[in-house]
Amino acid sequence: MTNNASAVSQDEDLHATVLPPPPEPWMPPKQPAAAEKVQPTIEDTPPAPAWYTILCCSSAQDRFSGPSVSPRTYFIAVDRSGGASVGLAFDVLDESRCVISQVKPEGLIADWNKTASPSQVVSPGDHISEINGISGNGREIASKLMDWSSKMRLTIHRPQMINVKLAKKGKMLGVSMAAHDAAKSDEDTGTSTKMLLITAVYPNGAVKSWNDESANKVKVAAGDRIVSVNGLTDQQTMLQTLKTSEELDMHIMSWKLNGS
């Protein structure tokens, strides 16, 4: 409370002076109200494939939302000082991005997830871009995660799903892809994946036509992952279906934001 009254000297007549009221008791300052959480927009959100829903969340719409949703980057902190396993497997098919392909039942990340808020639960499909501010390509990040022996602050980005439904109409699919060789799984860095990597999108193909005609702001591009084709999730079965089927219903992961 602001005190505008002057101090009263001993020579003044106290009975003729209006003294200020006693100060209010001190109270700790009020904390600013927490910002209201922005609820994701789930209208027109395509369903995630069943295996991804089971691995990641109780509902497809909990994880895959459109470009209008708030930023998909989050941060977590874990400590490897005790030598515990991180408990992750990775998809580093394109080397440029360290994508989480599995959160194992035991490990630091599983422990983190038990008490984390929903916005910070680490899930398959998320990709790790930095450890304590240090970036690198996919294999470098995966290797650092396995070798780090102290506290780690991880910068992680969630994907968004593009639902691509198209008919080839006599065209080639117009993409090149890479698949993980399970026989050459890198046990040291825990690399594995069920997804197909898109390495290029070519002009005059069915996918390029879908990009041109679709109202979706996020287009199919190199670096995206195909996670299901016509409901199928096995890599070799997906590849065969992409080659032989005229009509395709694909779920594709992208980490681009609003087409950037």
pLDDT in tens, 214-227: 887 889 999 999 99
pLDDT of residue 36 exceeding 70: no
What pLDDT score was predicted for residue 137?
Answer: 87
User: pTM for the full model?
Assistant: 0.66
What is residue 182's predicted lDDT score, i.e. its pLDDT? 53
Residue 71 has pLDDT above 80, yes or no: no
Question: Poorest-confidence range of 60-69, 156-165, 171-180?
Answer: 60-69
Between 260 and 190, residue with greater pLDDT: 190
Q: Which two tokens stand for residue 183?
A: 């026989």
Every domain range in the chain assigned CATH 2.30.42.10: 50-159, 161-254
Cα separation, 70 vs 57, whole angstroms: 19
Nearest residue to 143 via CA among 102, 81, 192, 90: 90
Residue 126 has pLDDT above 50, yes or no: yes
The pLDDT value recorded for residue 56 is 35
Q: What are phi and psi of 113, to 5 degrees?
A: -65, -25
Average pLDDT over residues 14-43: 44
> Count of alpha carbons within 13 Å of 10, Cβ hemisphere only?
0
Percent of the residues in the chain that have a pLDDT greater than 90, as a whole number: 41
Where does the pLDDT of residue 53 fall: very low under 50, low under 70, confident under 90, or very high at 90 and above? very low
**CATH no., domain 50-159:** 2.30.42.10
Q: Which residue has the higher pLDDT, 113 or 70?
A: 113
Domain 161-254 class in CATH = mainly beta
Nearest one of 243, 252, 256, 166 to 207, comparing CA atoms: 166
**For residue 203, what pLDDT is reported?**
93
Rounded to whole angstroms, the Cα distance separating 34 from 46 reads 31
Instruction: Please state, rounded to an integer, the average pLDDT across all residues of the chain.
Output: 74
